Amino acid sequence: MTVESEYSPDADRIMAVSLGPQHPGAGHFRIKLWLDGDFLVRSEPDAGYVHRGEEKMGEYRNYIQNVPHLERPVILDSCGILMPYALGVDELMGNSIPPRAQYLRVIMCEANRIISHMYYLGILGIFVGHSTMIEWAMGDRDFWIDFAERIGGARVTFAYIIPGGVRNDMPAFAVEKGLKTCDWFDKRLDEYEKIFLKNPLFLQRSEGVGVLSKEDAIRLGTTGTVLRASGVKHDLRRDEPYCVYPELDFEVPVLEGGDSWARAYVALLEMRESVKIIRQALKKIPPGPVRLKLGPQPRVPAGEVYSRTEAARGEMSYHIISDGSPRPYRLKIGTPSFKNLRALPHLLRNVHVADIPVIYWSLNYWPVEADR
């Protein structure tokens, strides 16, 4: 921690401290803190250390060239960030996606949701000093990465979901591997519940810490696990169904607490549902083509579209404007971390310094995703 040479004008005892910019587990980020002893009076997030200008880059590349660089902000959830992009471009072009491709999109999105949530819970574990959690979570996450690798060919950034379908078909042995991983992972989730989420030590650190009320969660525009942990049943997979989600049976877990523990537990419950979805999709997937022949430089008719889906951290959205040329005129990316960022200064005030890491990381905030 470095101390800034600025003091609050109203009270000599308030000290301004800069937490970061460092890499607390997900990318460079800084929070400005105003402290009274070990009591946090107020705070202000300072984002932008990993801003890459993805939106400007998108205007220089055509619709297919945009695929690989758009997934870089969220390497753990790379299918989650490409899904609304592909849906938006498909909608502009009027593509009708083959059913097998839609199933593959759903399978990969759900595998990415598990990969992302495992990382989230693992880092949350190490933030509260629970070393076993990070070791277990990182290890088990790898089995899902293995599964995704069998379909997408890479371990984190697959560039798998593209306008017009998916990049390649799934090999037959991936089904068996997927079903095996599902069965095994269900049992592991029970163990995670025992060792971490129902562990009295973790409960002490997270229960009642950083409570976000239902009204504030809606008012501040939060999304994803943060919103659902505050008692709002809002999940675009259920509310604005896309791809083949209507054909699959799953629940939307909602908790009422709104505290850091609820935000973590919702993520665990969501992984159970993701396993359910993957298992059903692997059994139901029909044969057929997986990709339309769009060519390397598809012509996209002029138009405007706002597409959104439920990515791992919440609502991922794109505002795409096409002027009929091969490149988008405007490509606005709305990421869930950026939408949840407003809740951070709201929660990080009137708490103790020891609660900062738990509150910060329970929001599932990913600086690279927010900065784009």
Partner 1 sequence: MTFEMSQANTPQPGTVAKPPAVPSSPPAQPKPEPARAKDLSVRINSRFPTVAVNWMKEKRLKVTTTPDKVKEVAFFVRDDLGFDHISAVSGVDWIAKNELEIVYFAGSVKPGWADFVVAVAERVARDNPVAPTLIEVWPGAEYHERETHEMLGINFQGHPNQSHLLLPEDWNDLPPLRKDYVSPGR
Residues found near partner 1 in the complex (CB under 8 A): 47-48, 51, 53, 55-57, 60, 91-92, 218-222, 227, 232-234, 236, 239-240, 301-306, 308, 315, 317, 319, 321, 329-330, 332, 334, 338-339, 341-342, 371-372
CB of 55 to partner 1, least distance (A): 6
CB of 329 to partner 1, least distance (A): 8
DSSP assignment of 272-306 = HHHHHHHHHHHHHPPPS--B----SS----SEEEE
Residue with Cβ nearer partner 1 (108 or 220): 220
CA-closest candidate to residue 208, choices 167, 263, 168, 249 = 263
Supply 51's token pair: 């801003």
CB of 38 to partner 1, least distance (A): 27
Give the orientation angle of helix 78-93 with respect to helix 99-127, to 10 degrees: 150
Residue with Cβ nearer partner 1 (156 or 306): 306
Residue with Cβ nearer partner 1 (219 or 283): 219
CB of 273 to partner 1, least distance (A): 18
Residue 161, sorted as left (phi over 0), alpha (psi -120 to 50) or beta, turns out to be beta
CB of 332 to partner 1, least distance (A): 4
| Alpha carbons 56 and 63: distance in angstroms, whole number | 13
CB of 310 to partner 1, least distance (A): 11
CB of 304 to partner 1, least distance (A): 6
Residue with Cβ nearer partner 1 (130 or 234): 234
Q: C-alpha distances in angstroms, 52 versus 20, 49, 163, 279, 318?
A: 19, 9, 23, 37, 17
Residue with Cβ nearer partner 1 (220 or 277): 220
Return the DSSP state at 125: H
Q: C-alpha distances in angstroms, 286 versus 98, 169, 282, 290, 310?
A: 10, 12, 9, 10, 24
The sign of the CA dihedral 175, 103, 328, 220 is: negative
CB 27 within 8 A of CB 368: yes
190 SS3 class: helix
Residue with Cβ nearer partner 1 (61 or 177): 61
Residue with Cβ nearer partner 1 (248 or 341): 341
